[in-house]
Every structure is written in C-alpha cells, then in structure tokens.
Structure 1
Amino acid sequence: MMLKLLTVSCWRFLAGISLLLGLIGVVLPGLPTVPFLLLSAWSAGKGWPRLEIWLLAHPSFGPPLKRWREHGAVPRKAKYMAAGMMSLSVVMLLLSPAPFLLKLLLPPFLCCVAIWLWRRPEL
C-alpha cells in the first residue's frame, strides 16, 4: 500500500512539474511547451487521471496532445520552429566558450532529433 502511494505521488509530481514547465513555456520564448505537456499528460495518466482528462479536454492543449497520441503527428509549423531553434542553438554553442566535447557531441545529436522530427506525420 505504501509503495503504491509513493508511486502515485511520484507520477503526480512529474505531471505537476511538467505542466508547470509547459505553462512557463507558453510565455517564455525558447522553452518548449508541447513536449512538457506531453510528458505531463503521460505521467498524469499513470497517477493523476483527472489532470490527464483536463489536459486532453483543454481547448488549447488538448488538440496537439490528441494528435500526438493518436497519430504521433507534429504540425509543420512546429517542425520549422524546432529546426530553427536547434540551428540557432548550435550556432550559439559554437560561438560560445562551451567545452569542446559539448560542441562536438550536441550538433550531431540535434541533427538526429531533427531527422526524427521531420519523419513524424503531419495532420
């Protein structure tokens, strides 16, 4: 019983933190909104069904969450924005005094993320 309560609490904590970060992303440029909302809805489904239902029924958040759940779809506009932000991040990283290993590993990783993203269906 105690383990189940702890597990549910962890899922709720993750759902709440993810939702908070997603809501901050609505007003803070550069912080993504939808990935945090996806994580929030997923973790809420594990331990906070009421929050999951609210997110899926929300007029702004619900449609992208449902498109992702049903089809794994990402709108073209979001793909362009993500690719642009990743490109800008790489340029800023290369111009910064960041560690060489980071400059070496992050661009190929982001390239793989972009390829994966552009292979997602659009609805």
Structure 2
Amino acid sequence: MTDKGKRYLFFALGLVSTGLGFVGAVLPIMPTVPFLIVAVWAFSRSSQRFHDWLYNHPTYGPTLRRWDKYRVVPPVAKVWTVVAMAGGLTLTTIFTTIPMWAVVGAAIGMGLVAAYILTRPSYPPPGAEV
C-alpha cells in the first residue's frame, strides 16, 4: 500500500472513530473517549488539521490531552466502564443462549480490561499542565 493510501485509510478510521465517539456522547451504553483516542491517533497519521481540531476541542480536548500526556482515566470513567461491562455481561448471560465457554471468555477479557483501566492514574500529577 502506498503512503497516500495509508493516509486515506487512517483518515477514514479517524472519521469513523470520531463519529462513533460523538454517538457515544449521546448514547449511555456506548463509550465516547476510547473512540476519540483512536481518532486522534489516526488523524495524527493522516491529517494534522483534524488532529489539532479534536486534540484542542473545548469539550473532549482536555480528556484526550490528559490521556496522551499522563494516561489518566478519570474516576467517573472507571466506574462507568466497570458498571457497563458488568451490566453487559449480566444481561448477555440472562437473556441469550451463548455457550458458557463464551461467557467465561468474555468475563476474562472484560476483567483484563477492567484491571487495566482501574490501574491507570485517576488524576494528572500535581502541578501538571493539561
């Protein structure tokens, strides 16, 4: 694939991720920031203008910058993430006929994601600029 083709691919990924992130801002069951993190990453490889727009966005920019600089996950995001994963797993187990091995696999995967998220810092270091 040519460099131009890669740029188009990353740009398309950035647009789709931004759209999904904005949808997640209004739908309580869908995350926002993870999609925007992917979008900023994709735009950094395809469009400096779109990267700067999202990175400096008045609403989402501070959260993206805290993640980029300090790998911070705010406490409310940690709680919502764990609650959403536990709720999704519970509902899936109750209302579907998915095999138990799949439920256990999903639980292990969600547990690993939860452990990663919960071990990230909740706040930037004291005196850090965002």
TM-score between both structures, scaled by the size of structure 1: 0.95
- Superposed, 1:78-93 pairs within 5 Å as 78-93=77-92
Matched, 1:109 2:109: yes
Question: Structure 2: how far apart are the matches of 1:98 and 1:37?
Answer: 31
Identity %: 30
- Give unpaired runs (5+ residues) of structure 2: 124-130
Quote the residue 2:66 is aligned against: 67
DSSP-derived class of the 2:77 partner: helix
**1:57-90 deviation line (CA, Å, top 9, x unaligned):** 1110100000000000000010000010011011
1:58 maps to amino acid = H
Question: Structure 1: how far apart are the matches of 2:99 and 2:42?
Answer: 34
User: Which structure has the highest helix share of the two?
Assistant: 1
2:44 maps to amino acid = G
How many pairs were matched up?
122
Q: Higher mean Cα deviation, 92-101 or 33-42?
A: 92-101
Q: Higher mean Cα deviation, 72-81 or 102-111?
A: 102-111
Quote the residue 1:49 is aligned against: 48
1:92 maps to amino acid = L
Question: Structure 2: how far apart are the matches of 1:83 and 1:4?
Answer: 39
Question: Structure 1: how far apart are the matches of 2:46 and 2:6?
Answer: 8
TM-score between both structures, scaled by the size of structure 2: 0.90
- Give unpaired runs (5+ residues) of structure 1: none
Quote the residue 2:16 is aligned against: 17
Question: Structure 2: how far apart are the matches of 1:86 and 1:6?
Answer: 36
By how many angstroms is 1:117 displaced? 0.6
After the TM superposition, which segments of 4 or more aligned residues of structure 1 sit over 3 Å from their partners? Answer: none
Quote the residue 2:118 is aligned against: 118
Quote the residue 2:127 is aligned against: none
By how many angstroms is 1:104 displaced? 2.0
